[in-house]
Structure 1
Amino acid sequence: MPHDDVTTPSVTTEQNNQEVLDVFGKHRDLASLPVTENDMPIGLINRAIFMSQMSKPYHRELYNRKSCIAFMDKEPLVVDAAMSIEALTFKAVEYGEKALADGFIIARDGRFLGIGHGLQLMRVVADMQAEKNRQIMHSIDYASTIQRSMLRPSREALARTLDDAGLVWEPRDVVGGDFYHFAAFEDGWFAALADCTGHGVPGAFLTLISSSILTQAIEQRGPRDPGALLMAVNRGIKQMLGQLDGNDETPGSNDGMDAAFFWFDNASRRLAFAGAKSALFVLQPGDEEGEIVDGERMGVGYVDTDLDFTWQNRFVQTQPGSVVFVTTDGLIDQIGGPKEIAFGKRRIRETIRGSRHASAARINEAVLDQYRAWQGHHRRRDDLTFFCFRVQ
């Protein structure tokens, strides 16, 4: 509870307005003067209002010798010294501007103790909020360390396995709801990009859950059937979050992810792809337009996704020089440009086609440059994750 370290000036109901004038004259920084009766606070005299009244013609002659209650606010905010800052803040806001402008009386066991000031209260609250924010940001920064540690093995495996590939992962906030997974095997490699519900800390929590379920599914089923892995992750998320038919353990919970899972066979260069509200863009050598390979229009793990929903595998026969690009919707949905519309898939395809002879990393840079130019002054809407590789 904030209050002055020095004794707070006050007057009793037995004192008159001349004595109030004397107190205000002695304490020129005093905005309000508490009034007590038998040590019990009963009112508050606002300096500005009091001086305005007493400066009117003949008011001094009329009121000087009268009790100080004449210009007293009879319903000031009185709070107990044991009240927490949080409770006091809500109380002061509920009481209105008067409590912040005039101050409030502090009492203990009903007896006058001192006076608190609105500005002082706001400073204390601001300091407390700043400390809370500092602690929260420290926790979020540590959460970012955990999330990046989770993703590091995949990024390192990607760098070791593919000579011409690029990955962009940029959370909208310090932590994000997108994640990726990459694992190499003797006969090929598996990759996944996923966009979990939400951003920031809630989204990051879901990435840890979903990534863990995916890792277990690969260990149990192997990496070569992306559709089956999507089914396994769907069941895992629904069971983990209690999002099953007739289950009310987590009311209001409806979380999941959109994802692209794919397996690349080294010998045949055939790509097996399964998508949950995700698609691949494939640009073959000699193909000027490129091909969109769509996944299923059903997300993973959500309440309205059946427990046994089947994601079909799509197969793409690639060849040396083929470029494959996949992204979460943070890139596609960003609002910008002169008409303030979504960036869209068409601009992505045009940028890739225009950079088709560059490295995969350079293609990503070109896409990112176009994205940022399109975004302009608009707020970033979502996490940003996309992956490009060229078949060797």
Structure 2
Amino acid sequence: MMQENRLDVMLNIVKNDDRAKYLLFTTPYQSVAHCVVVRNDAPWKIETIHDILDKNIAIEEGFFNHHYLKEHYPNTRLTLKKDTLSTLQSIAYNETDLTVGLVPVETYMIKRYGLSNLKVIGISDEELFAPKDLRIATSVHNPILIGILQKGLDAIDQEERNRIVNLWVNTNVEKIMNWNLLFKILFFFFLILAGTLFWTWRVKRIQKELADSNFLMHNLLNAIPNPLFYKDANGVFLGFNQAYEEAFGIDSTRFIGKTVLELDYLPPEDRLKYHQEDMRVIQHTLSLKREQDMVFHDGAVHHTLYSVNGFKTLKGKPGGLIGIFADISHQKKIQHELEISRHEVEESHKAMKDSIEYASLIQHSLLPNHTLLHRFFSDYCLLWQPKDIVGGDIYCMEEFDDGNTLLVMMMDCTGHGVAGAFVTMLVKAVERQIIATIRHQHERISPAKILGIFNQSIKHLLNQHDASAINNAGFDGAVLLYDKINACITFAGACLPLFCLQTDGTLSILQGNKHSVGYKQSQTEYVFREHVLSVEQGMRFYITSDGFWDQNGGEKGFPFGKSRFTDLLKKHYQEPFADQEEIFIKTLHAYQGTEIRSDDIMLIGLKI
């Protein structure tokens, strides 16, 4: 019962380790011995504890004797009783054989209730029957009460204690009864006084804590910048925070104890609607959230986010609700402005995208038809993939000498996307001027000279005369001239090589000059080197921009590299070029993985 907080104080209790976990004890106020109680006609001779272990023992449940016998003699037959009187009566009525108890308690109860057929037997050779210290106990949650009881005990000196005990244990029944009754009355009076003082102190402490909690709650609610209110289970206002009073211009004391039906600053139809909603929220413990326009005290319509939550009491019954308004007018204004800006950006983006897509059509129209490659070579592939809608890579072709000579040019211009595409337009214009000059003057076609003219023209057009020039555009390129009559290829490169594969798979690489076309740091009169190579049927040639081998990917995010590229050529050079083109694309995509495309990609493959 003490563990369940059903009792505040217990008397005549023996302290042990288990009880010390949930009880507080006074110092001992008396030490008394245990005894055995049997009927007068009991035939047994009882001298030690072993003489009672085979008997039916009545015992008070939960007391020291019960725990002791259960722990030390678990096979003993115990009949549990609720108190001392019922224990003694079970022996007197021959329901049980005997009991074990405190000498003064058992003696008093026998005489008090006239159980004359019972007698007390003392045993001194067993720990159970040794004198035990009796104490007063309270719950561990009542340290102040145990202190009060201890002070009461301390006020009785030893001489007075001995006199009380001697009267208590005297065999004169009448004296025992009178002094015991007086002791109980005094002690009971003392407990009532102590308990009253304790609970008075406890109530005051609870009242102070409640006042502190209310003060804290009041300040917490006022610290919330959004209007807030709370109601009881009947929809009656219990309180408002300061933000609510300021927003709606009300004095909260006028509305506490009222329902929303009595809020005169709201239209009547709104009051009824809100009240009905409140009662649904309370009865069903709902949570609602919505955007709602509210007229504040300033007369303006504020766009708010209204949230209301029903709650239950500790007993699970409807307890009330809490509502809050968050003024999101500023956010809605920003949202509207952002929506307008987003629409404008989308329109601008669409116009720009349309322009770029149209520019892509123009760029595609500038690329030559593949029929020239089909007429000059037994097989070919041409891979042109801009990183964006338009790109900075471009290729050009032109036939001469009545279809016996083909000039192929590849230019990897500065950047990609729109910037790169602008450079390709400039390069294309210069290329057409060069072709026109060759045709008009009937000059010998020289790939190296063509790169030189490109270099001079771009530097002149972009004013790249020195390092202070504001533009630094140009290209890396490769120019290849195929002469069918003389069975030879003439090649010149600006930072781009020519890959040559013999019919037996032998790979050779003709390196271009380490000098780009255009750019501020290039030399205006730079002379490029030419390579002349005899060809035979079945030989294969490849030129490519650096977008292929510069693409990052793989496990470590490194570039694809020229080494992997050349391995790819040697492994698949005998495949038809249509298959090779598909292999090139799939291999690069697989290596790229989740990496983004870093540049435009262009590759031309030719088979003699």
Query: Normalized against structure 1, the TM-score is what?
Result: 0.71
Matched residue, 1:239: 460
Matched residue, 1:134: 350
Rg larger for: 2
Matched residue, 1:279: 497
Q: Which amino acid aligns with 1:29?
A: Q
1:313-343 residue CA offsets vs partner (Å, 9 max, x unmatched): 1122221111101100100100111222111
Matches within 5 A, 1:303-322: 303-322=520-539
Q: Which amino acid aligns with 2:473?
A: D
Taking structure 1 as reference, are residues 387 and 18 closer, same or farther at Cα in structure 2, changes over 3 Å only?
Answer: closer
Matched residue, 1:7: none
Give the total of aligned pairs. 307
Distance in 2 separating the partners of 1:279 and 1:147: 25
Q: How many angstroms does 1:242 deviate by?
A: 1.4
Q: Which amino acid aligns with 1:176?
A: G
2:580 to 342, 350, 363: 363
1:220-271 residue CA offsets vs partner (Å, 9 max, x unmatched): 135720010001111111111111237x6xx531000000011111122211
Distance in 2 separating the partners of 1:342 and 1:245: 33
Distance in 2 separating the partners of 1:337 and 1:356: 23
1:188 aligns with 2:409: no
Q: Per the alignment, in what secondary structure is the counterpart of residue 103 of structure 1?
A: helix
Matches within 5 A, 1:90-239: 102-103=329-330, 117-151=333-367, 153-185=368-400, 186=402, 187-221=404-438, 224-239=445-460
Check whether the contact 2:292–2:303 (CA below 8 A) recurs between aligned residues: no
Taking structure 1 as reference, are residues 161 and 332 closer, same or farther at Cα in structure 2, changes over 3 Å only?
Answer: same
Distance in 1 separating the partners of 2:372 and 2:337: 54
Matched residue, 1:294: 511
1:82-106 residue CA offsets vs partner (Å, 9 max, x unmatched): xxxxxxxxxxxxxxxxxx96529xx
Q: How many angstroms does 1:131 deviate by?
A: 1.1
Matched residue, 2:88: none
Q: Which amino acid aligns with 1:302?
A: Y
1:338 to 543, 555, 562: 555
Q: How many angstroms does 1:45 deviate by?
A: 10
Taking structure 1 as reference, are residues 162 and 24 closer, same or farther at Cα in structure 2, changes over 3 Å only?
Answer: farther
Matched residue, 2:106: none
Distance in 2 separating the partners of 1:32 and 1:252: 60
Check whether the contact 1:172–1:382 (CA below 8 A) recurs between aligned residues: yes
Taking structure 1 as reference, are residues 33 and 122 closer, same or farther at Cα in structure 2, changes over 3 Å only?
Answer: farther
1:29 aligns with 2:292: yes
1:351 aligns with 2:550: no
Q: How many angstroms does 1:35 deviate by?
A: 5.8
Q: Which amino acid aligns with 1:387?
A: I
Check whether the contact 1:361–1:388 (CA below 8 A) recurs between aligned residues: no
Taking structure 1 as reference, are residues 180 and 20 closer, same or farther at Cα in structure 2, changes over 3 Å only?
Answer: farther
The alignment yields a C-alpha RMSD, in angstroms, of 3.2
Structure 2 runs not aligned, ≥5 long: 1-244, 251-262, 271-290, 308-326
Check whether the contact 1:179–1:193 (CA below 8 A) recurs between aligned residues: yes
Check whether the contact 1:196–1:206 (CA below 8 A) recurs between aligned residues: yes
1:35-91 residue CA offsets vs partner (Å, 9 max, x unmatched): 69xxxxxxx998879x9xxxxxxxxxxxxxxxxxxxxxxxxxxxxxxxxxxxxxxxx
1:268-292 residue CA offsets vs partner (Å, 9 max, x unmatched): 221111111100110112243x001
Q: Per the alignment, in what secondary structure is the counterpart of residue 191 of structure 1?
A: strand
Taking structure 1 as reference, are residues 292 and 283 closer, same or farther at Cα in structure 2, changes over 3 Å only?
Answer: same
Distance in 2 separating the partners of 1:23 and 1:195: 78
Q: How many angstroms does 1:125 deviate by?
A: 1.1
Taking structure 1 as reference, are residues 17 and 148 closer, same or farther at Cα in structure 2, changes over 3 Å only?
Answer: same
Distance in 2 separating the partners of 1:203 and 1:223: 31
Matched residue, 1:88: none
1:283-319 residue CA offsets vs partner (Å, 9 max, x unmatched): 112243x001100111101100111111111122221
Matches within 5 A, 1:34-73: none
Taking structure 1 as reference, are residues 31 and 283 closer, same or farther at Cα in structure 2, changes over 3 Å only?
Answer: farther
Taking structure 1 as reference, are residues 165 and 33 closer, same or farther at Cα in structure 2, changes over 3 Å only?
Answer: farther
Structure 1 runs not aligned, ≥5 long: 1-15, 37-43, 52-99, 105-115
Check whether the contact 2:407–2:482 (CA below 8 A) recurs between aligned residues: yes
Identity of aligned residues (%): 28
Taking structure 1 as reference, are residues 17 and 245 closer, same or farther at Cα in structure 2, changes over 3 Å only?
Answer: closer
Q: Per the alignment, in what secondary structure is the counterpart of residue 548 of structure 2?
A: helix
Q: Which amino acid aligns with 1:242?
A: N
The farther-off stretch of 300-309 and 346-355 is 346-355
1:3-25 residue CA offsets vs partner (Å, 9 max, x unmatched): xxxxxxxxxxxxx9475579996
Check whether the contact 1:34–1:45 (CA below 8 A) recurs between aligned residues: no
Matched residue, 2:130: none
Taking structure 1 as reference, are residues 34 and 310 closer, same or farther at Cα in structure 2, changes over 3 Å only?
Answer: farther
1:84-141 residue CA offsets vs partner (Å, 9 max, x unmatched): xxxxxxxxxxxxxxxx96529xxxxxxxxxxx71111111111111111111111111
Taking structure 1 as reference, are residues 31 and 334 closer, same or farther at Cα in structure 2, changes over 3 Å only?
Answer: farther
Query: Normalized against structure 2, the TM-score is what?
Result: 0.46
Q: Which amino acid aligns with 2:461?
A: M
Taking structure 1 as reference, are residues 24 and 226 closer, same or farther at Cα in structure 2, changes over 3 Å only?
Answer: farther
Taking structure 1 as reference, are residues 335 and 23 closer, same or farther at Cα in structure 2, changes over 3 Å only?
Answer: farther
Q: Which amino acid aligns with 1:337?
A: G
Taking structure 1 as reference, are residues 45 and 370 closer, same or farther at Cα in structure 2, changes over 3 Å only?
Answer: same
2:478 to 245, 252, 260: 260
Distance in 1 separating the partners of 2:380 and 2:295: 70
Taking structure 1 as reference, are residues 154 and 241 closer, same or farther at Cα in structure 2, changes over 3 Å only?
Answer: farther
Q: Which amino acid aligns with 1:272?
A: T
Distance in 2 separating the partners of 1:390 and 1:156: 15
